[in-house]
Structure 1
Amino acid sequence: MTDTGERATMEPTGGQTPRDGLDARLVVDRGTFRLDVALTAAPGDVVALLGPNGAGKSTALRALAGLEPLTDGRLHLDGTPLDRTPPESRPVGVVFQDYLLFPHLSALDNVAFGPRCRGASRAQARARATVWLERMGLADQADTKPRRLSGGQAQRVALARALATNPRLLLLDEPLAALDARTRLEVRAQLRRHLAEFEAVAVLVTHDPLDAMVLADRLVVVEDGRVVQEGGPADIARRPRTDYIARLVGLNLYRGTADGHTVRFDSGPSVTTTEDLSGPVFVAFPPGAVTLYGERPTGSSARNLWRCEVAGLETHGDQIRVDLTGELPLAADLTTVAAAELGLHPGAPVWATVKATQTHAYPA
């Protein structure tokens, strides 16, 4: 049995081999829904599975945990196949969305539960749990039952319980979803620190782009059971490839065909960009790059001009988000004063412009 001061995972010996970490292709057939997602990650990586409700994120997480049998594919962890290994025998720790702490056990005994299940004596398990509660800043809550813990404290107890078994794979299912906005900000920063210290693979499931961008090294975006895009947070934010991702990162996104600096959209209109490209491309620009006029502007330097109609208005932070239909459906962000001066209301005709320098075109 390892001593109570050990790190979250075993120290690597002799350097990591290419087989270290996670190598999986998760195929799950469930009636009309089919999940087919490939995941690879090296020790120390934090991967976020991001996608809309029903995309298959939680199914993928359950498959990794052994709670959902694979129809096909593979699941290897540090070179060892886990496809047929029962959940309780996998070197996997799970933090569930609602934490699932045992209500009748103290914080200390909740954390000690995992090591006890892995064969540690009661004294060994409680000693290890004490170390983990200290790491989480919860030493003074050791005897507290879950109902008396705050949301942030409960989240940290659940994380300590998952890490106390020294997992080689840590799974987090919407770990911040149950928290209020203020607590979420604090706990997100704490979780980022703990994940940065974790030496094995962590997979995070979330539908919140901020959680994904802040906590993960790599994003894997899943829609309808398939991976539609993956990469670093900055790359995905700058080059979205689906409408879902564009909405998440707050961009207008269009697909078209480029001929030099002109892109003809599949929907009909065209746009002038600064990039010189050829063939299928995406064009993206933020709603804040859109300028609206009540009448067709004269003498405007913007080369991109479309006649639109206001479809809806909503508060978006300290601005007004204007949903537009017409020649080019798009979203525009205006100050409250600007929206009032234009007299915007559903059905109002407007002209929308975007400067070429504020667009971003990239190969599709």
Structure 2
Amino acid sequence: MRPTDDASHQPTASGVPATPALEADLRLRRGSFTLEVSLTVQPGQILALLGPNGAGKSSALRALAGLVPLTGGHVRFDGRDQTTAPVERRPIGMVFQDYLLFPHMSALDNVAFGPRRQGLSRAAARERAAGLLDHMGLSAHARVRPRRLSGGQAQRVALARALAVRPRLLLLDEPMAALDASTRIDVRARLRHLLEEFDGATVLVTHDPLDAMVLADRVAVIEGGRVVQQGVPAEVARRPRTAYVARLVGLNLFRGRAEGTTVTLEETETETETGAGTGGPALVEVHQAHRGPALVAFPPRAVALYPCRPHGSPRNVWRLRVEGTERFGDQVRVHLAGRLSLAADISPAALAELGLSRGDAVWAGVKAAEVECYPG
């Protein structure tokens, strides 16, 4: 089983805490931007860094690689301090989003390049490279140059090149970015399988939540140079803590205060009945009692729309205004605003039956059992 615990030091079979493969406290100032991120990755574990553009993900990756100097903090691999070590002295392998394979070299020589720089003989380096290419199903392409490789093949060559130096830390910078949509599913699954056999730490930077959910054991979300949420992918997806994360995983998210099974949301808009609400904060009923600051989340598919106020099973109903509609897979996503802003996924047939257009008033209902409530 791959390690997924959030603790910095997991116990071994003997009860002695294991040394993390990576332990980093990254403090970096560049102009007006400040990065303050702490990361711990256990041996064999994959950590995904998610966040919007400019959040600091790439800066964190470059700091781990030694490509930018820290203004404070530390970087340790297997307990050894690497904070001031130059790039060439760090036990790292890196896969860039455009792979950066040497165009004049064959796949074999690309992979053998790192071991040769480490002092291996040409024959030994090529033997190691050939073994890695064979393991990745690329033996038939060993003599092929990068321009004749497919995107998935080039990615595997780049990964083999990174692993050929036998790193303790593997850094992946948007490894799926150069692939077209039709090949991403297969390549993503293959990459996960290959990474499972790596016993060092892997840090993956991605904008795609699916990459993080499929590839990573743990996720750290960075916004504004800080880690705002981290944990196993399923927990992050189920209980987002910021609007960015909620959008990323496709949930409606609200912040408020819980008293029993009622959560009073923070006010966003206070429209009157002439608009799309009655003024004042919206209330959300949940199925388990809570007390204090809380977050509530529910998926757009849990939202039902009605032309008139519904009676019966939905315990949460709000009169809202249609802001717009868009096709979303085989559903239609309806964006609603008023006392709260949310998204609802309905079928095209339901949209036609309701006859909704921008500006129309509609009732939205969500069952309390569909609402996730957790400490805010």
- Give the corresponding residue for 1:7: none
Q: Equivalent residues in 2 for 1:352-363 (5 A)?
A: 352-363=364-375
Q: Equivalent residues in 2 for 1:83-94 (5 A)?
A: 83-94=83-94
TM normalised by structure 1 equals 0.94
- Give the corresponding residue for 2:282: 269
Q: Deviations over 1:130-150 (max 9, x none)?
A: 001001100000110100000
- Give the corresponding residue for 1:8: none
Unaligned 5+ segments in structure 1 are 1-11
- Do the aligned partners of 1:66 and 1:85 also contact (CA within 8 Å) in 2? yes
Q: CA deviation at 1:275?
A: 1.1
AA of the residue aligned to 1:346: R
Give the counterpart of 1:289 among 294, 302, 326.
Answer: 302
Paired residue secondary structure (1:105): coil
- Do the aligned partners of 2:221 and 2:228 also contact (CA within 8 Å) in 1? yes
Q: CA deviation at 1:123?
A: 1.1
TM normalised by structure 2 equals 0.91
- Give the corresponding residue for 2:9: none
Unaligned 5+ segments in structure 2 are 1-11, 268-280
AA of the residue aligned to 1:29: R
Q: CA deviation at 1:20?
A: 4.0
CA distance in 2, matches of 1:132, 1:356: 53
- Do the aligned partners of 1:44 and 1:200 also contact (CA within 8 Å) in 2? yes
Q: Deviations over 1:154-196 (max 9, x none)?
A: 0000000000010000000010111011211111011100111
CA distance in 2, matches of 1:270, 1:207: 33
Q: CA deviation at 1:18?
A: 3.3
Q: CA deviation at 1:88?
A: 1.0
CA distance in 2, matches of 1:19, 1:338: 56
CA distance in 1, matches of 2:313, 2:144: 65
CA distance in 1, matches of 2:318, 2:338: 8
CA distance in 2, matches of 1:233, 1:79: 26
- Give the corresponding residue for 1:278: 291
Q: Count residues with an aligned counterpart.
A: 351
AA of the residue aligned to 1:59: S
AA of the residue aligned to 1:205: V
Q: Deviations over 1:293-318 (max 9, x none)?
A: 12223x33212111111111111111
- Do the aligned partners of 1:275 and 1:360 also contact (CA within 8 Å) in 2? no
Q: Deviations over 1:35-75 (max 9, x none)?
A: 11000111111111111111100110000111111111110
Q: CA deviation at 1:19?
A: 2.9
- Give the corresponding residue for 2:3: none
The answer to whether the aligner puts 1:121 opposite 2:121 as a matched pair is: yes
CA distance in 1, matches of 2:80, 2:130: 31
AA of the residue aligned to 2:287: T
Q: Equivalent residues in 2 for 1:244-255 (5 A)?
A: 244-255=244-255
Give the counterpart of 1:347 among 340, 349, 359.
Answer: 359
17 and 351 in structure 1: CA distance in 2 versus 1, 3 angstrom threshold: closer
AA of the residue aligned to 1:248: L
- Give the corresponding residue for 1:230: 230
- Give the corresponding residue for 2:312: 300
CA distance in 2, matches of 1:159, 1:15: 34
The answer to whether the aligner puts 1:62 opposite 2:74 as a matched pair is: no
AA of the residue aligned to 1:273: V
CA distance in 2, matches of 1:289, 1:123: 61
Q: Deviations over 1:3-48 (max 9, x none)?
A: xxxxxxxxx9x99863341110011101111111000111111111
Paired residue secondary structure (2:196): helix
352 and 258 in structure 1: CA distance in 2 versus 1, 3 angstrom threshold: same
| CA RMSD in angstroms, aligned pairs only | 1.4
Percent identity between matched residues is 62
